Amino acid sequence: MNYQDLLAVVQEHGSPVYVYDASKIEAQYKRLNDAFKKVKQVKINYAVKALSNISVLKLLSSLGTGMDTVSIQEVMLALEAGVAPEKIIYTPNGVSLEEIERAASLGVQINIDNLSILEQFGTKHPKTPVCIRINPHVMAGGNTNISVGHIDSKFGISIHQMPHLKRIVENTKMNINGIHMHTGSDILDIDVFLYASEILFDAAKNFDNLDFIDFGSGFKVPYKEGDIETNIEEFGEKLSKRFNEFCKEYGKKLTLAFEPGKFLVSESGKFLVKVNVVKQTTSTVFAQVDSGFNHLIRPMLYGSQHEITNISNPEGRERFYSVVGYICETDTFANNRRISEISEGDILSFSNAGAYCFSMASNYNSRYRPAEVLWHNNKAHLIRKRETFDDILKNQIALTF
Ligand SMILES: *Cc1c(COP(=O)(O)O)cnc(C)c1O
């Protein structure tokens, strides 16, 4: 997927447009799988919320992943993509008992993260196997919004509540077949992750019928050249060894599960926008593009820094730009960024646009959500049409006055 290919996608499908490189997704999947090749049974469940286009789900499923879902709609989407229910894990937070029962009736693996629902579900459905989401209270994650394992986090059942948890399981005679943690995104320190894993192993010893241990996700990917990222190979080596030891101790070959989103799809994605206006102010040169935080909210929400390349003039002299959108609210994508000289009409490409980009897009300012394209076998495949005015009006009810 070179610059010419990307420019051709804009020619054909217009801008703004998201483009995902299938070969990068495949390479990341292979990398993760290879890192854990010393473990007999490994299950990689793709976190659907990162990028939930049905063609992407089908691609990942064809590679061999299961799906990690956080809402009943994501469960339905994964089923629609042809994923077998037993390859889907449902890990909601704060949803109703009814929704969990619905997911259970569809045959997917249930993962429960609070004692109230656990007791209610266990009382009504003692036979349904349930995984438990533990909060190990390990501080990890790159931004407070994505650190979900700390003491005041709303996620998981506190490891300190193990006595109460065990009592519920004994009283209801429910079947706990898995134990899970997910401590947040952007983990840099492998040792912190391994430390959290030890807490999970300790917790696992309280249940004698486990089939799997799910270590969640949170692998950090690079955002620019030379950026630090989770060393998956070293991590795989260390955790595999420890996991195999634990299985011996436990007396059963368990499955090691992960549920990466960002790691699998982040780097595959490019977001292509067109420069509408180059605007000089007294202190800055703004490049204003035909998009905004309605299409890519991560810079405003998390302060994430997506690399931006002027693919219409990649060899041009570099100058400093603030890249902003067209939303009537501050929507800065990048401040004071060195980019090769920009002219109006140029196409800019944002990197790391695979995860949490399209899936967080909205219609704010009554703009259409972008088209999505999957680059597969050296060809561009449209996998979502750009919205139209009908989509904006759909479901609205116009009263007459
Ligand atoms: C969001 C989420 C993930 C994926 O996290 P990444 O950082 O994208 O890998 C995995 N598991 C659960 C439960 C999640 O909520």
Q: What is the pLDDT of residues 197-213, one digit of tens each?
A: 999 999 999 999 999 99
Give me the phi and psi of 335, to 5 degrees please: -110, 130
328 is catalytic: yes
pLDDT at 7: 98
Which is the CATH superfamily of the domain at 266-386? Lyase, Ornithine Decarboxylase; Chain A, domain 1 (2.40.37.10)
Distance 217 CA to ligand 1 centre (A): 6
Distance 401 CA to ligand 1 centre (A): 47
- CA pair distance 258, 217, nearest whole angstrom: 6
Distance 45 CA to ligand 1 centre (A): 10
**Does the CA dihedral 1-227-183-36 come out positive or negative?**
positive
Q: What is the pLDDT of residues 61-115, one digit of tens each?
A: 999 999 999 999 999 999 999 999 999 999 999 999 999 999 999 999 999 999 9
Comma-separated ranges of CATH 3.20.20.10 domains in the chain:
22-264
| Residue among 71, 217, 220 whose CB has most ligand 1 atoms within 8 A, to mutate | 217
pLDDT at 168: 97
49 Cα nearest atom in ligand 1: 1
pLDDT at 153: 77
Distance 198 CA to ligand 1 centre (A): 20
Answer for the pair 307, 224: CB distance below 8 angstroms, yes or no. yes
pLDDT at 230: 84
pLDDT at 101: 98
pLDDT at 154: 84
Distance 62 CA to ligand 1 centre (A): 20
Distance 398 CA to ligand 1 centre (A): 39
- In the CATH scheme, what architecture does the domain 22-264 have? Alpha-Beta Barrel (3.20)
Burial class (CB in 10 A: 0-12, 13-18, 19+), 86: exposed
Closest CA to ligand 1's atom 4:
261
Answer for the pair 160, 135: CB distance below 8 angstroms, yes or no. no
**264 alpha carbon, distance to own chain's centre:** 8
- CA pair distance 19, 390, nearest whole angstrom: 24
- CA pair distance 338, 353, nearest whole angstrom: 19
Q: What is the pLDDT of residues 147-190, one digit of tens each?
A: 555 666 788 999 999 999 999 999 999 999 999 998 765 667 78
| Residue among 29, 45, 182 whose CB has most ligand 1 atoms within 8 A, to mutate | 182
The DSSP annotation for 43-91 comes to EEEEEGGG---HHHHHHHHHHT-EEEESSHHHHHHHHHTT--GGGEEE-
- CA pair distance 157, 115, nearest whole angstrom: 7
Taking CA atoms, 168 is separated from 34, 153, 335, in Å, by 38, 22, 52
Cα dihedral 229→232→235→236 (10° resolution): 170
Question: Binding-site residues for substrate, please?
Answer: 298, 302, 329, 356
Comma-separated ranges of CATH 2.40.37.10 domains in the chain:
266-386
Below-70 pLDDT ranges, the chain: 139-152, 184-187
| Residue among 43, 75, 259, 265 whose CB has most ligand 1 atoms within 8 A, to mutate | 259
The 3-state DSSP class for residue 179 equals strand
In the structure, which protein residues have their CB atom closer than 6 angstroms to any atom of ligand 1? 47, 49-50, 68, 70, 91, 182, 185, 216-219, 259-263, 355
Entry pTM: 0.94
pLDDT at 139: 65
